[in-house]
Structure 1
């Protein structure tokens, strides 16, 4: 019976054949232990000299790392194994012998591992992170589908910047200028006016010359937009969504979390409601903690976000930032126009901002004024004004960065481990 490692629990006491690679091995005289992987998981194969032919035993002892195999054996329960099962090997058929596999079971430098990212993905740690990333993606679709959202795919090639910034990748679109999208948000607002509650899930690009452990040049964003939803309701949806992601990983990825050594007690607490502080309160808190260099009206950097997050054991919303440091489309607080109805969600344990969101301006004249203040006049944004001309409604939205969220939930030190092939300031290979 052919099966996969993830399904061996259904075949206890039976003989199965699995297509695998040899991740590692050790032997002691009359027994060989093979660490096998097949993409769905890892299992130990035990080869006992007295129970197999001499040819099979010698073959097992001579196997090299990452050689591909058909392994046949009996599935046994094993309470000592994190997986809970092992394979008593009866036969081995070599598919392809790997010679001098470069990533050996020892310490390697980051640059070496990044140069061999196409192979580093095979390691147990990277496998676990990618499985958890997949669970977060699946849970995202599940959450929004179950809550009445429609998935809409905005363009990647655009004629403008969503946020009016300069950190754009420029290209030619025949005889026009075009840019790789920083965000699908503006298009998602148009979709929300047609479909009510929508979300996008796709790659975004920032030509930001940053080398921090939080930044990638190419990353994936989940961007919901919601018609007839105001700031308060949007915050509630955000905390429900993030909690759903965390609880789904806890429910379905216990083996991967254990493999990573993640302290799950810190994740079990991630349930609504999340704490909230205003920008004003955040400034006061930072001053109390010795950050006297930051003044009202300045944006927070990574050290500030970490210092604020240290005060909470859940993600914390920082709300009502000054309008002058936020995007042109954010709605001013009617009771205090110098701040906007927005929030950044800061993850605990030093992982920084994972969500940025706001209520959007729905008044045509105010948006026109913002256009002028941000030098956005011209034809490129006319269609966005149309959304306020024809049946404008209160609406809100937010964007969650997938890789930062994966880093936080898995406990990864750097976002380069949370995407299959990271694009960094000085890395476009492999």
Structure 2
């Protein structure tokens, strides 16, 4: 009697390129059964050599759970469960380029080689599910050495002092202006220190490539160091890094060009910005949507492929509008301004994208599209399976992870692949 199960069609094919066995997801979860009829949200998007199977991105989310900058099994589980449920791209949280660039003592870091391996475990698992992996590289600037929010919030104290691993006497910024009275008082960076930080961003980017990431994002938003240089409210320097728009954008340009020079030409590079710091009410010069548009027109020539538009975070007195679409609206404004001048820069939008209709409308191809990619953060903490829920509500049949497919919709969509 002949043996059975020898046919390659019966093989439980392993995922390629990872150092452990897990079945290949071909295609990845979150891929539409019928690509021709799928809304833009569930269509592929290509950036240089990287193609995402849909437009839903897990945005960077600080977890305050790293060990001296090293990711732990917590992060593997936290991000791994999201990879099982079908987003096109998953970001590891803001990752510091030097120890004093962390927001809290428990933030992710990539300033030394020993931090590569824990990140590689995460990228290997994300890749095993057919999903792309990204990292946001960052420096917290004057908002560094703070407590995790669930500690600082209850203790009514933001600063992490030396007794809990903080460095309140070594916090730096473009100018010696604290974010708020409950934050550390920063020291003004010297020109030499600024040049050193540009190099540290580049060194971190090289380690990110070694850790297996497909995409790198430079964090230039939310009141952290790059954003602090951009704003005349936090940057009152009178040298080549302060004053004019050109001078205030010099640091982000130098960081971008240094990173672009050390990563593969085929690798997409993103920049996240705060589209405005919401301080127009104060009657002083501040970072505004108009300046964001001006910056957006320059960055493609620096090597940026995607502009990730957020807002706020740099000024304690910020006043947000009542509408939940305020960040999406900024992205739309920026995108329209660029398209009007023939600049086809990919735009990513983030902020209150919590349900299927909003996610659909943000990226749906047409004159009113706000963005090309929808970034989602807290909704994934509420619903790790949110991509599948969105697909169900939009009546888009999508692939489920093989091992979970028996729990999926009653129609066996897997047979159509």
- TM-score, reference length from structure 1: 0.28
Higher relative contact order (CA 8 A, sep 6+): 2
Q: Please identify which structure carries the higher strand content.
A: 1
